[in-house]
Copies of this chain bind each other. A is one copy, B any other.
């Protein structure tokens, strides 16, 4: 049986413009978009119509970089840069996830807020702990959200209680891969970043990625001190990206690198060649005084770019707030670059937050035919009252000034999760 959703449908199939179908019908079959039409006359078989007239129907948001275990730390320690922030706030919090009871409390709250804020697909860092990582994956499976989850790997330069033995780190990772096969929520190989992974660990993780065809995520060139540190740790390798590449973790399987602020042109070119996704985390990059990623340059080089909330370096799970910050940051970059790197348009940033990041999952993040039916129903009546705005203006107003209370329903694979 088909399910049909009536409303003002708007999405991006490319970064340059919106597809807009006002007062139309979104037809969903087996969790996938079948078509959008203006009337239902041509449809002969059984169907159920859910009427969201005057509401916006938009793709669910895609968050390709966030740390679920840092959820309770949101908004804390924003007076520090990356490395001291990790040591003072983040590592002590992550160490608590050895305790599965604690993990359960945080992860249940995290998932419920993820749904409330309309994020239907996400690529997540858990912690080094196998049990609580498996728990997070179970809870996400129950929630029906779409996700990749990474057990974090670290065997050097971290606090004592988060530093793993290399063998154990690899064994736990493989256990998770084997234990979650065939489930909706998938594992992703997650070396935290070069400074906290020995060559042996990186090589071992690359072997697992290849053996089981598992994707990879990590951090790249977020902070100048971090870049210097990597140079000291691997003086024989020409740049940061090439360290990952040398150890087989840079596009050998599907890969996301987060931040990418101080990356050289040579590294960006390598990302483009290898199909490595960049996760842009504007809010986090502001908060930790990291800098502004030159997104326009990546797009010009043909790199795929998605958006990451990067909680709790980022201060909110809200992807609309990240869209706004992404556009704002690109405007400052435009000024900084002597008006060379042109600012991102609203459609470009919206695309990044939906179909752009969604491509990491496959046909996700759009409402074109054949795409997963992941979408939000937005009641924007408290934002737009009185003036008669079209769907494009209403979407802008919702993204720039709305919040999660405007999201009245959330669907994943055509099934309601909020």
Chain A residues in the interface with B (C-beta under 8 A): 72, 74-76, 78-79, 105-106, 109, 283, 286-287, 289, 291-292, 315-316, 324, 327-329, 331-332, 334-336, 343, 345-346, 383, 385-387, 393, 396-401, 403, 405
B76 touches A316 (CB 8 A): no
With A74-B397, A328-B286, A386-B109 known as contacts, the answer to whether A79 contacts B334 (CB < 8 A) is no
B315 touches A401 (CB 8 A): yes
Minimum CB–CB distance from A112 to chain B (whole Å) comes to: 10
Q: A315's closest neighbor in chain B, by CB?
A: B400
Find A335's partner among B289, B346, B401 (CB 8 Å cutoff): B289
B399 touches A292 (CB 8 A): no
A292 touches B332 (CB 8 A): yes
Q: Cβ of A343: which chain B residues have Cβ within 8 Å of it?
A: 79, 289
Q: Pick from A331, A334, A335, A343 the residue with the most CB of B within 10 Å.
A: A331
B291 touches A335 (CB 8 A): yes
Q: Cβ of A386: which chain B residues have Cβ within 8 Å of it?
A: 72, 105-106, 109
Known: A78-B327, A289-B331, A336-B336. 18 other contacts (CB 8 A): A72-B387, A74-B397, A74-B401, A75-B397, A75-B398, A75-B401, A78-B396, A78-B400, A286-B329, A286-B331, A287-B331, A289-B334, A289-B335, A289-B343, A291-B332, A292-B332, A315-B401, A316-B400
Minimum CB–CB distance from A105 to chain B (whole Å) comes to: 5
Q: Which 5 A-B pairs have the closest CB atoms?
A: A75-B400, A286-B328, A75-B397, A315-B400, A289-B331
Q: Cβ of A405: which chain B residues have Cβ within 8 Å of it?
A: 405
Minimum CB–CB distance from A342 to chain B (whole Å) comes to: 11
The docked-state distance in angstroms from the alpha carbon of A76 to that of B336 is 24
Q: Cβ of A334: which chain B residues have Cβ within 8 Å of it?
A: 289
With A336-B336, A385-B109 known as contacts, the answer to whether A345 contacts B79 (CB < 8 A) is yes
Minimum CB–CB distance from A168 to chain B (whole Å) comes to: 29
Q: Cβ of A78: which chain B residues have Cβ within 8 Å of it?
A: 327, 346, 396, 400
Q: Cβ of A383: which chain B residues have Cβ within 8 Å of it?
A: 74-75
B393 touches A76 (CB 8 A): yes
Minimum CB–CB distance from A351 to chain B (whole Å) comes to: 15
Q: A81's closest neighbor in chain B, by CB?
A: B331
The docked-state distance in angstroms from the alpha carbon of A397 to that of B75 is 5
B327 touches A399 (CB 8 A): no
Q: A72's closest neighbor in chain B, by CB?
A: B387
B403 touches A403 (CB 8 A): yes
B74 touches A400 (CB 8 A): yes
Find A324's partner among B106, B315, B332, B385 (CB 8 Å cutoff): B315
The docked-state distance in angstroms from the alpha carbon of A156 to that of B358 is 50
Q: A282's closest neighbor in chain B, by CB?
A: B328
The docked-state distance in angstroms from the alpha carbon of A405 to that of B405 is 9
B396 touches A76 (CB 8 A): yes
Minimum CB–CB distance from A89 to chain B (whole Å) comes to: 11
The docked-state distance in angstroms from the alpha carbon of A79 to that of B393 is 12
Q: A327's closest neighbor in chain B, by CB?
A: B78
Q: Cβ of A283: which chain B residues have Cβ within 8 Å of it?
A: 328
A286 touches B75 (CB 8 A): no
Q: Cβ of A106: which chain B residues have Cβ within 8 Å of it?
A: 386
Q: A343's closest neighbor in chain B, by CB?
A: B289
